[in-house]
Amino acid sequence: MPIHGLAVYSPVTNHVTCLDGLNGPAQSIRPIIKDLISSARTSLAMVVAIAITPLEEAEVMQPLNGKFPNWVSSKDRKLLEASIKDIKANVVVATAGSGNYKTVKEAVASVPKNSNTLDDGMDSTIITGSLNIVDGTATFNSATLAAVGDGFIAQDIWFQNRAGPLKQQAVALRVGADQSVINRCRIDAYQDTLYTHSNRQFYRDCYITGTVDFIFGNAAVVFQN
């Protein structure tokens, strides 16, 4: 997707998500949000009406041929293609206290910006939660893990929402990060397992399970293998 198109699609998605989450007294600003959505859609229609250049068309149609997108740096490609045994951990999370931190939140807060998330394998390291819409959490906020920072990379990890089928919408992983890569990961829930919210996303060698609408969203996304 050309950058100018992406710049319009993403605000529309964000506005619609905001509108969906308005409840109680906040509903008074719904007309304002609707006007913003209308303006964004008008801009989108104008963008689509303009013919893209041959260079932009080549960018849109470029096949991956089993490889990573061109936004993935050579350094990151090397890391993503390495086996688990060849990767040395910088930070270890263990609830028993045997690692550097006891929670993933503490570990994430400690590392520099633009760091990647790598673990021991999709069947070994599990990030789990149980937030769901029946118990009062909006679908958008029910994600066990939400990634919004551009260039987000996750590898060899299991994201899970164990709320169960009776709890309806319960997201395991929500991604709104532009140019994100999810590699060799497992993503499990029942309804609305993977929320590919917005922007450009790439998934490779992932195992994704669910029952109802288990992959949904408005992202420009590629699933490989």
Cβ–Cβ < 8 Å for 144, 128: yes
Our answer to whether residue 120 is catalytic in this structure is no
Point out which residues pair with 147 in neighbouring strands. Answer: 175
Rg of the chain taking only CA atoms, in angstroms: 19
Q: How far is it, in rounded angstroms, from Cα 142 to Cα 197?
A: 13
Q: How far is it, in rounded angstroms, from Cα 102 to Cα 60?
A: 43
Cβ–Cβ < 8 Å for 19, 33: yes
Q: Which of 35, 123, 135, 213 is catalytic?
A: 213
Q: How far is it, in rounded angstroms, from Cα 52 to Cα 34?
A: 29
Q: How far is it, in rounded angstroms, from Cα 35 to Cα 15?
A: 10
Ramachandran angles phi, psi of 187, nearest 5°: -130, 115
Q: How far is it, in rounded angstroms, from Cα 10 to Cα 214?
A: 21
Helix (H, G, I), strand (E, B) or coil at 77: helix
Write out the catalytic residue numbers: 213
